[in-house]
Amino acid sequence: MPPLWRHRLLRRAANTAIVAASTYTTSSECHLCGGIDFYDELRMPPLWRHRQQMYVENNESCKPIVIDTLRFLWDLEMIGQKRDVVETPFLATPRIPYSILFTIGGWSGGSPTNLMETYDTKADRWIRIEEVDPAGPRAYHKLAVLGFDIYVVGGFDGNDYFNSCRCFNAVTKQWRDIAPMHSKRCYVSVAALNGLVYAMGGYDGHHRQNTVERYDKETNQWTCVTPMNVQRSDACATTLNGRIYIVGGFNGTECLASAEFYNPQTDQWTITPSMRQRRSGVSVISHHGHIYALGGFNGISRLVNGEKYDPETDEWAAIPDMFNPRSNFAIEVMDDMIFVIGGFNGVTTIYHVECFDERTGEWYEATDMNSYRSALAACVVQGLPNVDDYIHQNRSGLMEEKRQKLLQQQALQEGRVRNAAPIPANEIEPVEEEREEEEEEVEANI
């Protein structure tokens, strides 16, 4: 069953396609769109919005799809009241995704973890992956992707600040060491550009850094490049138009609003306009020609707001607020939307996930992770030949899973706890432990 937040997107996309396909009249035009087979290929087609329109009402081939879609939407609305097993119809069965989102490591339950989860965006499900890093846990690190290799750079395990780096191949599922960086870097910022991995700033246990180095997988070597203009730990970086942009962070004294970009052709850093707010523990991503900076810590509280930078106008502009305040969370783009994952809300570590659609200016809730995590890192790997290893397997049982979850929630609300499945320990929200984590974060930033 596609997640509820996807319904609006699917409705909009399918409506456009159906209107276009329904207006084809010549045989050549029908051939181009595949004739009525086009409708059969649509999953969860929202024809209900067009059922009153003449070209749908008069198309006999459309009517069964309209009826099936209306029946599905009704079943979805009433699923919590059904007592029999609910099957997922073909039109709601999610396709196999081309891209897989990986999350690795982080801080959970008062200590670092090596947990790995993947997100199946088509099924809106998180999958726990068994092939965790045997080298142990790490948090406050970052990830970069080159092909099917996921590079884990820097971080902290609660005792040691790392200059070590690891690499996970998503096809072979094997972990290996790569050359260590020249400097230890916790709260590091990382970006991949032109087949090279850049590590910027961070904290070595003594100093906030402005140094930068880049990794060449062909030589397995790190090389120092021109340092940044500003010392930054707990900042975040992304790439756009052949440049690396880095924003925010902490310099050892204050949270930062400043930003700058690196041009690899000139090996130079250039200051850009500052953000509208100071943000340490910020997450940054490029999307549709803009640089998005979301959440973070301003020195007083965790932030729910965000902003975007337009390199054409050289200005920052506010965007709609997230549902949850958060810092030290993961961020990625999937299905043309910005996903924010986990983090710390100022009281506790969270596992909440939400996504932003730039076209509508709206945030949507997605399925939560399996575990509470902050200081985690995420990346997206595309075109995996073994994608089945990282997706939700019971694709035909999504509606029944939804029904069972609703029944469990109803039972808990009615006090029938004995008849409901127990909540897994890793989903019980920690409070006291995470206050200790908050103290550790503040202490680390002094």
Q: 55 and 133 in one domain? A: no
Paired residues of 268 in beta bridges: 263
Same domain for 160 and 18 = no
Same domain, 205 and 339: yes
Same domain, 109 and 87: no
Q: Is residue 135 part of a domain?
A: yes
Mean per-residue pLDDT for 20-34?
41
Question: Which of 299, 302, 308, 241 minimizes the C-alpha distance to 276?
Answer: 308
Q: Does 320 lie in the same domain as 229?
A: yes
Lowest mean pLDDT across 72-76, 96-100, 280-284, 411-415: 72-76
**Residue 107 predicted with pLDDT over 70:** yes
Residue 87 and residue 103 in one domain:
no
Q: Do 228 and 336 belong to one domain?
A: yes
pTM of the model: 0.80
Q: Are residues 44 and 135 in the same domain?
A: no
- CB atoms < 10 A from the CB of 237, how many? 29
Q: Pick from 343, 366, 389: which residue ends a domain?
A: 389
> Is residue 412 included in any domain, yes or no?
no
Identify the residue with better confidence: 121 or 407.
121
Q: Are residues 72 and 120 in the same domain?
A: no
Identify the pLDDT of residue 395: 79
Domain boundary among 44, 66, 92: 92
Asked, for residue 244, whether it belongs to a domain, the answer is yes
Higher pLDDT, 254 or 34: 254
What do you get for the CA distance between the two ends of the chain, in Å?
47
Query: How high is the pLDDT of residue 400?
Result: 67
Phi, psi of 417 (to 5 degrees): -65, -35
Sign (positive or negative) of CA dihedral 381, 386, 390, 396: positive
Question: Do 65 and 105 belong together in one domain?
Answer: no
State percent of the chain over pLDDT 70: 69
| Domain count of the fold of the chain | 2
Task: Give the model's pLDDT for residue 376.
Answer: 99
pLDDT of residue 56: 53
DSSP per-residue letters across 1-63: ---HHHHHHHHHHHHHHHHHHHT--SHHHHHHHTTTHHHHH-SS--GGGGTTSHHHHT-TTTH
Residue 8 has pLDDT above 60, yes or no: no
- 112 and 86 in a single domain? The answer is no
88 within domain boundaries = yes
Is residue 258 situated within a structural domain?
A: yes
Bridge partners, residue 113, by sequence? 106
What's the token pair of residue 203?
């904290």
146 and 193 Cβ atoms separated by less than 8 Å = no
pLDDT score, position 93: 74
Residue 339 burial by Cβ neighbours in a 10 Å radius (0-12, 13-18, 19+)? buried
pLDDT tens for each residue of 41-61: 444 433 334 444 555 556 666
pLDDT on residue 48: 38
> Tens of pLDDT along 343-362?
999 999 999 999 999 999 99
Gap between the Cα atoms of 314 and 360, Å rounded:
23
Query: What CATH number is associated with residue 341?
Result: 2.120.10.80
Range of the domain at 168: 99-389
Render 110-125 in DSSP notation, one character per residue. TEEEEEEEEEETTTTE
Do 64 and 184 lie in a common domain?
no
Count of C-beta atoms within a 10 Å radius of residue 419: 11
pLDDT score for 332: 98
Considering the domain boundaries, does residue 193 fall inside one?
yes
Does the residue 159 lie in any domain? yes
Q: What is the pLDDT of residue 209?
A: 98
Q: In the structure, what pLDDT confidence band is assigned to residue 102 with cuts at 50, 70 and 90?
A: very high
Between 231 and 408, the more confident residue is: 231
Mean pLDDT on 17-40 = 42
Confirm if 87 and 75 have CB atoms less than 8 A apart: no
pLDDT band at 94 (very low <50, low <70, confident <90, very high): confident
Query: Which pLDDT score is estimated for 91?
Result: 61
- The domain boundary, picked from 353, 370, 389, lies at 389
- Residue 399 counted as domain residue: no
Residue 18: is its pLDDT beyond 80?
A: no
| Structure token pair of residue 267 | 């090996």
